[in-house]
Each structure stands twice: as structure tokens, then as C-alpha cells.
Amino acid sequence: MAARIAPRHSEIARRARAARGNWVLAAVYPAADGGQSAARRIPRAERMPAYHPPGTYEAYDARHDDGTAVWVRYTAGLPKPAPRPPAVTYRVCDRGTSRSYEGVRIVAVTVSPDCPRCGGPRGSAVPYRFPEDGEWYVADKWKNGCGHTDMYAAVLAEGRELARFVADATLALDDEASDENEEFGAAVALLRALEKKQRFLTARRSALLLAVAGHDEAARRVEEERTSTSGRMSARDAAQFLVGLAAARASCTDCDGGRINYQARDSEFVSLRCGRCRRDVVPRA
Ligand SMILES: [Zn+2]
Ligand SMILES: [Zn+2]
């Protein structure tokens, strides 16, 4: 039995190389531990020789209808694909909950970047305009690479549940000392409140909830740190990481707004991302 469900990693690695830069469903593990362990070991090629050399594959685990899915992406060579976002925001149609026609409202909702059925990455938003009741509206459509379709009503429900969870934690926050003057001060206070509300909150979910609360920069940095360390990271670790990053940014004298600019020996100007500040910098042409 075990032999039948054991994933064939050399074949998965070959499929991922063929689809370079795109996420491929590697395997579905019946137990969450198995999936999480594989997702941590694949990027390091740890006891996973099929993924040698370390650093050529990325992996993440996500909930799947049949267990825990592991998704793999081959990223060797340039250009490096964009990192996975901590969350996605779509404009969806809200038609209310009653049976009769209530008209349409466009609502922006922030939800998980993973398909709720299989954990595959959700598609990118494509805006479309449509007329209704003599007005024009713009909503988003998207196509998930896995083939599962997200219905607006389900996405709305998912977004509302996440927003409610964040709002509840924010309510508990008021009497807590949060240092709003520090960068990430509000994000760190929210993480501490969330952690009290939900034990064993992972950094992955923390990043999603930070994004739902509008702390986009904090969310991206936590997700980036979580991915690059590929170890277990909790909400508490995430909060500590943000405190450290805020301090590093406040004291950094190496860079100019997150960029280190210098003139190379061939007199070409070079601009690098400051590794201490880790700001998102758009590559200059
Ligand atoms: Zn799916
Ligand atoms: Zn810097």
C-alpha cells in the first residue's frame, strides 16, 4: 500500500523542469506532516536527491480535498519568477443572499492565494466590464491553472470569514500597547493578538491575515522570510522577524531607499537590493 502512494520524485522533478517557472502538483499526502516535511525538504534537496542541487526547486504544502498537497516549481536559471503572494485580492460580484434579485455590488475581497480544492495557485485577476440595470461595472475574472473554478459566492464567503477573524483580533487589540510609530508596529500588535486567538498559528496564515488587514508590506516580508528559511515558522517568529526588520531598516546606512547603488569597474552603474532592508525594488532597465 505504502509503495503505491509513495510519490515518484524523479518523475515529479522531471515534470517540474519541463514546466519551468510554473507550479506543478507533486503529490497528495494523506497526513499533513508528510506533506509539510516534503515541502520543507524539497528546496534543500534534503534526503530528496531528485531535487538536487539545493535551491533549484521551490515547494509549498496546502490543503487538498484528499489530504495535503505539495506543489513544486523549478526556478533554476533566469529570470526568477515572482515569489508567491501571501494573498490575492479580487473584485467580485455580490448579489446578496436572498432569492429575489437584489442587483449587483462590486466588492474587493482578499483571500488565500491557493485553490481551496487542491491548493494550486489561484489565477491572476483579469478585469472585465459588464452592463447591468443601465450601469457599467468592473469585476475580475480569473482562471486557476488547476482547472477548479472559484465561484464568486464562495470567494465572498472566504474573504468575509478572514476579515471577521482579523476584525475580532483587532477588537481585542485596543487595550494592548502597540507602537504605531515603529514601522510594522501595528502589524506586530495584530500578530500578537491573532496568536492569542488561535494557537499554533503558522507564519503562512499570519502573512495571509496581515494582508487581509491591509498590512501588505509586512505580509510580503513574512512570506519571503518563511519561504527563504524553509523551516517551521510561527506567528510569534513572524512578529519577532518584523520587529528585527523594522530596527534594521531604521538603522541601515548602506542603502538609498532599499537600493545599493555603485559604479562597477567597467563604469556601469549597478543597483542592488539592500539585503538588510529587503524593500521591494523594481529592477531598473
Ligand atoms: Zn484547484
Ligand atoms: Zn538598507
Do 92 and 211 share a structural domain?
A: yes
Do 69 and 95 share a structural domain?
A: no
For residue 6, pLDDT over 90 is answered with: no
In a domain, 95, yes or no: yes
Do 137 and 64 share a structural domain?
A: no
In a domain, 279, yes or no: yes
Do 215 and 164 share a structural domain?
A: yes
Measure 149 CA to ligand 1 centroid, in angstroms: 8
Q: How confident is the model at residue 283 (pLDDT cuts 50, 70, 90)?
A: low
In a domain, 154, yes or no: yes
For residue 132, pLDDT over 50 is answered with: yes
Measure 151 CA to ligand 1 centroid, in angstroms: 12
Ligand lying nearest the CA atom of residue 65: 1
Q: How confident is the model at residue 285 (pLDDT cuts 50, 70, 90)?
A: very low
- Residue range 14-41: average pLDDT? 93
Measure 250 CA to ligand 2 centroid, in angstroms: 9
pLDDT, tens digit, for every residue of 182-227? 899 999 999 999 998 888 898 999 999 999 999 999 999 999 998 8
Domain count, the chain: 3
- In this predicted complex, what is the ipTM? 0.93
User: What is the DSSP annotation of the chain?
Assistant: -HHHHS--HHHHHHHHHHTTTS-EEEEEESSHHHHHHHHHHHHHTTT-GGGPSTTSEEEEEEEETTEEEEEEEE--SSSPPPPPPS-EEEEEEE--SSSS----EEEEEEE-SB-TTT-PBPPPPEEEEEEETTEEEEEEE---TTSPPPPHHHHHHHHHHHHHHHHHHHHTTTTS---TTSTTHHHHHHHHHHHHHSTT-BHHHHHHHHHHTT-HHHHHHHHHHHHHH-S--BHHHHHHHHHHHHHHHHH--S-BTTEEEEE-TTS-EEEEE-TTT----PPP-
pLDDT, tens digit, for every residue of 49-103? 999 999 999 999 999 999 999 999 999 986 878 888 999 999 999 998 888 888 8
In a domain, 272, yes or no: yes
Do 136 and 10 share a structural domain?
A: no
pLDDT, tens digit, for every residue of 151-171? 999 999 999 999 999 999 988
Share of the chain above pLDDT 70, in %: 93
Do 100 and 202 share a structural domain?
A: yes
For residue 147, pLDDT over 90 is answered with: yes
pLDDT value at residue 265: 81
Do 103 and 23 share a structural domain?
A: no
Share of the chain above pLDDT 90, in %: 71
Are the beta carbons of 190 and 171 closer than 8 angstroms?
Answer: no
Ligand lying nearest the CA atom of residue 121: 1
Ligand lying nearest the CA atom of residue 273: 2
In a domain, 79, yes or no: no
Are the beta carbons of 59 and 38 closer than 8 angstroms?
Answer: yes
Do 244 and 262 share a structural domain?
A: no
pLDDT value at residue 4: 47
Give the separation between CA 263 and CA 203, rounded to whole angstroms. Answer: 38
Do 261 and 244 share a structural domain?
A: no
Ligand lying nearest the CA atom of residue 276: 2
For residue 262, pLDDT over 90 is answered with: no
pLDDT, tens digit, for every residue of 133-143? 899 999 999 99
Ligand lying nearest the CA atom of residue 257: 2
How far from 229 is each of 7, 90, 116, 218, CA to CA, in Å?
24, 29, 25, 17
Measure 244 CA to ligand 2 centroid, in angstroms: 13
How far from 88 is each of 22, 108, 283, CA to CA, in Å?
17, 10, 23
**What is the rounded (10 degree) CA torsion for 79, 73, 125, 206?**
-110
Do 203 and 121 share a structural domain?
A: yes
Do 36 and 16 share a structural domain?
A: yes
Do 33 and 151 share a structural domain?
A: no
For residue 2, pLDDT over 80 is answered with: no
Within 10 Å of residue 265's Cβ, how many Cβ atoms?
5
Q: Which domain covers residue 134, as residue numbers?
A: 88-248
In a domain, 83, yes or no: no
Q: How confident is the model at residue 179 (pLDDT cuts 50, 70, 90)?
A: low
Computed over every residue of the chain, the mean pLDDT equals: 90
For residue 277, pLDDT over 60 is answered with: yes
